[in-house]
Amino acid sequence: MAEDLLRVRNLSTRFFTEDGQVNAVESVDFDVRDGEVFGIVGESGSGKSVTALSVIDLVESPGRITSGEIWYRNPDLAEEVREDNPDAVDGDFVDVRRVPENVRRALRGPSFSTIFQDPMSSLNPSLTVGEQIAEAVEVQRRARSNPRSTRSRTQGFGLGNLLTSTLLPSQGYVSDESRAEAIELLEQVGIPDPAERAEEYPHEFSGGMLQRAMIAQALAGEPDLLIADEPTTALDVTIQAQILDLLRDLQEDTGMSIVMITHNLGVIARMCDRVGVMYAGEVVERGTLEDVFDDPVHPYTQGLLGSIPDLDDPAPRLQPIEGNVPDLYDAEMENRCYFADRCPKAMEECLHKPPEFDTETGESREDFADRAASDHGAKCYLAQHEYDPSQALPEGYFGSGTDEAKSASGTARGDAASEDEEVSADD
Distance CA 97, CA 186 (A): 33
Q: Where does the pLDDT of residue 374 fall: very low under 50, low under 70, confident under 90, or very high at 90 and above?
A: low
- Of the listed ranges 2-11, 284-293, 312-321, the least confidently predicted one is 312-321
pLDDT exceeds cutoff 90 at 425: no
Model confidence band, residue 77 (pLDDT cutoffs 50, 70, 90)? very high
pLDDT in tens, 115-135: 988 777 888 999 999 999 999
Distances (CA, A) of 422 to 356, 410, 418: 22, 18, 6
pLDDT at 150 (0 to 100): 40
> Please, what is the average pLDDT of the chain?
84
- Which range among 111-115, 235-239, 393-397, 414-418 shows the weakest confidence by mean pLDDT? 414-418
Residues listed for the chain: 427
Q: What's the whole-number mean pLDDT along residues 342-364?
A: 93
pLDDT in the model for residue 365: 77
Q: Are 99 and 88 in contact (CB under 8 A)?
A: yes
Farthest CA pair distance, the chain? 81
Closest C-alpha to 298, from 374, 365, 381, 362: 381
What is the C-alpha to C-alpha distance for residues 330 and 301, in angstroms, rounded to an integer?
24
pLDDT 10s digits, 132-153: 999 988 888 777 665 543 443 3
Q: Given this model, what pLDDT does residue 380 score?
A: 96
CA distances from 150 to 86, 103, 140, 165, 259 (A): 21, 7, 9, 21, 24
- State mean pLDDT over 406-423: 42
| CA proximity to 212, closest of 222, 198, 223, 225 | 198
Share of the chain above pLDDT 70, in %: 84
Q: What integer pLDDT is reported at residue 147 of this predicted model? A: 53
Whether the Cβ atoms of residue 346 and residue 393 lie closer than 8 Å to each other: yes
Q: Helices 176-188 & 129-145, crossing angle to 10 degrees?
A: 120
Q: What is the structure's pLDDT at 398?
A: 87
* pLDDT of 420 over the 90 cut: no
Sign (positive/negative) of CA torsion 247, 250, 252, 254? Answer: negative
DSSP at 46: S
pLDDT band at 235 (very low <50, low <70, confident <90, very high): confident
Q: What share of the chain is helix, strand, coil (3-state, %, to 5)?
A: 40, 20, 40
Average the pLDDT over each of 86-90, 137-141, 181-185 and give the range with the smallest value: 137-141
pLDDT in tens, 13-66: 999 999 999 999 999 999 999 999 999 999 999 999 999 999 999 999 999 999
Per-residue pLDDT band at 308 (split at 50, 70, 90): confident
- pLDDT at 412 exceeding the cut of 90: no
pLDDT tens string 237-248: 888 899 999 999
